[in-house]
């Protein structure tokens, strides 16, 4: 079987299984994303190990299929965060800016401190312990955004504050990561750190200005041109461009750029048409691949003894510190207790951001290679528990909408 046919066969199984898992979850009165995530665990190396079936083996390029699926999954994250930005009411986001800032900052400080402390008995010291704590600071609201969309509360005050807090969290985590790498290298210095910070702020300012001032007009212009699916093609190209520029130009995660692009197109009179076309592409193909890919990266069989104990400790700390940190920050920002709890719970999922941070740590020699498997398990578990916990703390009739 050629590599292309192997990819086609794999995607056929992944998408079918993801949709079946989502359907079953909905029938059991749970968010569809929970079923899709569990299907990923079923198809991953912990159980069925889909990507290593003999039918899909490619001795010449053994990692080609895996890399192709993971790259498609990253596109799913980008499109998902674009849709999250498209749903946001910018005026309401301004009103929750204080809450988002406090929740984002506190949601970084608490996991960093407690995460570094709990790994001391496991042999991690100094920079290594701090870096483990930093891995726990990452927040990926892709799963939370999807769950809130299903519950119909993404545009609530809590949902918008959560998205804003995630942007603050992203900036702080990438800044901390850059500082750690700079300090670990001979080029460390206050000037290098300041340059990283200025670069991020400059990109955010330019990207937001371009999104708000240019994208709505660009959408209006292309919609009047006789181009087949011109509007959809434009949105895809711009979203990919913003995602690319966020990492290359701003040193931020690609999802931040996609989110900003969504905010810009959300101001267009064509927002409904954009949402309809992007929703079809994203949820029919890319998002199921993303959800399943999380399980495909996890191999629970590799964990035993001290590694399993460390994984359990870090999973507990990962959940508790985000609820406490994000919730406390939201409370200090002015939210009532229940609303603050919702923000904290929504920040539990680590997602691909945690994996990126862990990968940098391994490559820089700051943490052990074995810890990457533990981080993958943390990402999986926090991603799995977030949808049902959000469903518990969110009830539509108690939620104030924008």
How far is C-alpha 227 from the geometric centre of its chain's CA atoms? 33
Q: Are residues 163 and 346 in contact, defined by beta-carbon separation less than 8 angstroms? A: no
**Per-residue buried b or exposed e for 128-149, using 16+ beta carbons within 10 Å of the residue's own CB:** bbbbbbbbbbbbbbbbbbbbbb
Per-residue pLDDT of 88-137, as tens digits, reads 777 767 777 899 999 999 999 999 999 999 999 988 888 888 888 988 99
Output 92 or 310, whichever has higher pLDDT. 310
For residue 61, the 8-state DSSP code is S
User: Does position 347 have pLDDT exceeding 80, yes or no?
Assistant: yes
**Would you list the domain boundaries of the chain?**
3-396
Q: Can you tell me which residue has the tokens 């943490």?
A: 367
- What is the model's pTM? 0.76
Note the helical H segments in 266-368: 271-281, 287-296, 306-332, 337-346, 351-363
CATH number for the segment(s) 3-396 = 1.20.1530.20
How high is the pLDDT of residue 66? 92
How high is the pLDDT of residue 304? 73
Average pLDDT in the 54-58 region? 88
How high is the pLDDT of residue 183? 64
Cβ atoms within 10 A of the Cβ of 62, count? 11
Helix, strand, or coil (residue 124): coil
For residue 260, the 8-state DSSP code is H
Q: Can you tell me which residue has the tokens 């970084």?
A: 108
């Amino acid at each position: 079987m050629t590599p292309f046919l192997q990819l086609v066969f794999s995607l056929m199984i992944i998408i079918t299984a993801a949709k079946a898992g989502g359907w079953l979850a909905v029938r059991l009165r749970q968010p569809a994303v929970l079923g899709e995530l569990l299907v990923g665990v079923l198809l991953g190396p912990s159980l069925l190990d889909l990507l290593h079936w003999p039918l899909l083996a490619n001795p010449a390029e053994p990692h080609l299929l895996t890399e192709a699926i993971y790259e498609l999954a990253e596109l799913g994250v980008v499109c998902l965060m674009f849709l999250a930005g498209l749903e946001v009411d910018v005026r309401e986001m301004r009103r929750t800016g204080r809450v988002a800032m406090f929740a984002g900052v506190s949601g970084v400080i608490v996991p960093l401190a407690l995460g570094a402390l709990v790994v001391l008995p496991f042999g991690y010291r100094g920079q290594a312990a701090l870096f483990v704590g930093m891995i726990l600071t990452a927040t990926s609201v892709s799963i939370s955004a999807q769950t809130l969309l299903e519950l119909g509360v993404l545009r609530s005050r809590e949902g918008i504050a959560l998205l804003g807090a995630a942007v603050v969290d992203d900036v702080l985590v990438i800044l901390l990561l850059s500082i750690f790498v700079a300090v670990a290298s001979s080029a460390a210095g206050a000037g290098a750190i300041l340059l990283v910070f200025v670069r991020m702020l400059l990109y955010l300012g330019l990207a937001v200005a371009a999104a708000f001032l240019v994208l709505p007009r660009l959408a209006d212009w292309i919609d009047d041109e006789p181009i087949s699916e011109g509007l959809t093609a434009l949105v895809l190209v711009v979203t990919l461009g913003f995602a690319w520029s966020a990492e290359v130009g701003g040193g931020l995660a690609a999802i931040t750029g996609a989110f900003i692009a969504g905010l810009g197109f959300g101001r267009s009179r064509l927002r409904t048409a954009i949402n309809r076309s992007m929703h079809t592409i994203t949820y029919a193909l890319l998002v199921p691949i993303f959800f399943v890919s999380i399980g495909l990266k996890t191999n629970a069989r590799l964990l035993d003894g001290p590694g399993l104990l460390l994984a359990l400790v870090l999973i507990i700390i990962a959940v508790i510190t985000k609820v406490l940190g994000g919730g406390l920050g939201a409370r200090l920002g002015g939210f009532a207790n229940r609303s603050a709890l919702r923000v904290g719970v929504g920040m539990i999922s680590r997602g691909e951001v945690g994996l990126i941070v862990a990968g940098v740590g391994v490559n820089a020699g700051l943490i052990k290679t074995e810890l990457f498997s533990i981080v993958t398990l943390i990402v999986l578990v926090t991603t799995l528990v977030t949808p049902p916990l959000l469903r518990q703390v969110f009830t539509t009739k108690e939620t104030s909408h924008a």
